[in-house]
Structure 1
């Protein structure tokens, strides 16, 4: 939970003492300046300053003091505003913390619909709480990293798979262009997640670090179609493409560093058909050479595009 910020301010008595001291100093300074401006007349004797001039001198000095009094009033008003803002901030943090605890506790509930409600609640909190958005995202990603064994059901529609598909769709919805609240530039750690199906289509990975390391793709369809990798540091290190389909159709690689070191292509149909390699580095050269039974599919080129590094056993048309 997040602690309220520490708003340190002087005590009111200290503020008042400083302003009063400043007022006295300004009164003396203004009186001296006026006295000098009048030619430093004597205060007594035949050449003493006339009574009306003395009165003007006092009046000017008192006007300065009155201005200091106005400043003192502004100081008090400013302190009151600061205290009100600090109290409001503490109340906001308290409410945000309560929402965070409630939503997080729902993620561990035995009922699937309660877990799904917790995911939506935590995503809504991330939208409302920019200062702790990364924390909320970390918890959502941690849910995907929890141990999970997909059941053998038709169409891949077991309850937990549906929850995880909804979660990836929520994350992707915040990464698409034009999202009401964008999560671009944040970190997403899916390390060791088990995904039966996931929808990352149209997502913009434009900053931060994104890890699909050691992810196990256990069937179904994982889509990166129309996604844009344009600045994030992305790794698929050790990812097990074990089953199902993984598609990068029309995906744009224009500025990211994407590594597939140690990735295993053991049975999933991985397709880069229609992908556009216009910048950055997409490095598949480090894929596990002993686990290339079902190599990824690419468009036909005379030579691979610049920035795309393929395993030694692959050409643009597949295995040599």
Structure 2
């Protein structure tokens, strides 16, 4: 294991060795270079020899030839030195390749041996294989993804947790390794539990990543807290059985937990998924915690089942978030969560309380046919796109106090069995509550409807409060049914208003209602028991009137509506 005792360094392959070229590629240029040096030096030295005496010319020519030959010899020596340097480099490169190949063979042997140990029936052998893989990954970064794949493959192997585990954790070394006891046939589930917990801890230890603030010059230099982090890791734990899985404050590239079973609590608090994260069909037997988690890609929890509490407070979903047909048996919390893409919860089931307080939905938010058995809280939530709550069932109270709907809000055929609170809600787009059923109190006090507000065929079994509500555009309550007290005190109607065939408004509270002067083409049809009268500042107001006993269809009860149409 001497290879594993070296200091951690990246495994880099030396430059490729090139085949030696023919000798002519260097011999011919070298000869030409030597000849050129001899000729050039001699020509330079003999250029003024003609003006000398005969005796001096001879001696000068001899010295010039010697000097030229010495220059040629020097050039030849330089060429020889360069060839020697190249030969030395080639030998060093060959030695580096030999060493690298030997190291690669050693790494391959260690990897193969460690992987083989994972198939042993003895728990200590499997543990040794896991630790060997961990050390191999720490010292050979090129194998980190491969080692993670092997560990994930091991966790994907079929496993059934023991039905009645001991109250205390069993030691990592199993009973079969103590006192010469013979190992039992097969794998002890308690021992296998320890092996799997070790595998999970290895993953968590090397995926842990903590964001560090930029270093200032006055701060002392500290050790990198992420020196053990393995970057850009992909997890494939499809169908795996995971025990008390803990990936808090970890960073991974992509993660696939499709159809995985999380026994015990699953912790992903502060985890970062830089790519897609898939939990389709996953089963969470205990609590599932994703508080502060960041999903940079798409996040899928389609048909996931959570038996305990689900907490995603402050989670950030940069891509699309899909929770269609998911089942939350306990409380589900999404307080302060941010959905930058589309968020789909269609046909999901919330058996406990569901909280989305202060959540931000930048894309479309789909809650079609969702069932909320407990309290549903969307207080101060922001919906920038279309909000779909069509055919939703609210068995408990539903709270949307001070929520903001910038796009369309669709609550058609929704069922509110408990109280429904929309106090202070802002509807900037169209608001649709057609055929919705309100069995408890329905409160829209101080709500602002900038676009159309439609409550056609809505049923209000208990009190319906629209005190201080503002209807800037058309307000339609055609065929709506008010079984309890209807309150419109200080409400403002600036656009069209229709209450055709609306029932139960004979005792409605209309104190200080303000009706804007009708513009051209604006039609207002009030209930027969309401009468529009002059108010202050050129506005109109509404007053409740008693129908005459024998007026029939042609009596005064129909006149206020007709007068309203004419005024429109």
TM range (shorter): 0.7 to 0.9
User: Structure 2 CA distance, aligned partners of 1:306 and 1:227?
Assistant: 21
User: Structure 2 CA distance, aligned partners of 1:26 and 1:118?
Assistant: 62
Q: Cα–Cα, structure 1 residues 267 and 116, in superposed 2: closer, same or farther, change >3 Å? A: same
The corresponding residue for 1:221 is 265
Q: Displacement of 1:110 after TM fit?
A: 0.7
| Unpaired segments ≥5 residues, structure 1 | none
User: Structure 2 CA distance, aligned partners of 1:99 and 1:309?
Assistant: 52
User: Structure 2 CA distance, aligned partners of 1:238 and 1:103?
Assistant: 32
User: Structure 1 CA distance, aligned partners of 2:287 and 2:363?
Assistant: 21
**Contact kept in structure 2, 1:216 and 1:239, CA below 8 Å:** no
- How do 1:255-294 residues align onto structure 2 when only pairs under 5 Å count? 256-273=296-313, 275-277=314-316, 280-281=318-319, 283=321, 286-289=322-325, 291-294=327-330
User: Structure 2 CA distance, aligned partners of 1:143 and 1:309?
Assistant: 39
User: Structure 2 CA distance, aligned partners of 1:317 and 1:113?
Assistant: 52
| Unpaired segments ≥5 residues, structure 2 | 1-12, 170-189, 210-224, 336-354, 380-392, 395-568
Aligned pair 1:176/2:211, yes or no?
A: no
Alignment root-mean-square deviation, CA = 3.3
The corresponding residue for 1:65 is 76
Q: Comparing both chains, which one has the higher relative contact order based on Cα–Cα distances under 8 Å and sequence gaps of 6 or more? A: 1
Q: Displacement of 1:226 after TM fit?
A: 3.1
Aligned pair 1:211/2:218, yes or no?
A: no
Aligned pair 1:10/2:19, yes or no?
A: yes
Higher radius of gyration, 1 or 2: 2
User: Structure 1 CA distance, aligned partners of 2:128 and 2:308?
Assistant: 31
Deviations 1:272-306 (A, max 9, x none): 23x343x62361xx324264545632225554225
Aligned pair 1:112/2:109, yes or no?
A: no
- Normalization by structure 2: what TM-score? 0.48
User: Structure 2 CA distance, aligned partners of 1:290 and 1:185?
Assistant: 29
Task: Tell me the matched-pair count.
Answer: 302
SS at match of 2:238: coil
The corresponding residue for 2:61 is 50
- How do 1:220-239 residues align onto structure 2 when only pairs under 5 Å count? 220-229=264-273, 232-239=274-281
SS at match of 1:210: strand
User: Structure 2 CA distance, aligned partners of 1:138 and 1:40?
Assistant: 78
Deviations 1:113-170 (A, max 9, x none): 2212211111111111122222122111111111122221246963323322221221
Higher helix share: 1
Deviations 1:236-288 (A, max 9, x none): 24232341122123x342x6114125232252322123x343x62361xx324
**Contact kept in structure 1, 2:311 and 2:332, CA below 8 Å:** yes
- Normalization by structure 1: what TM-score? 0.81
SS at match of 1:87: helix
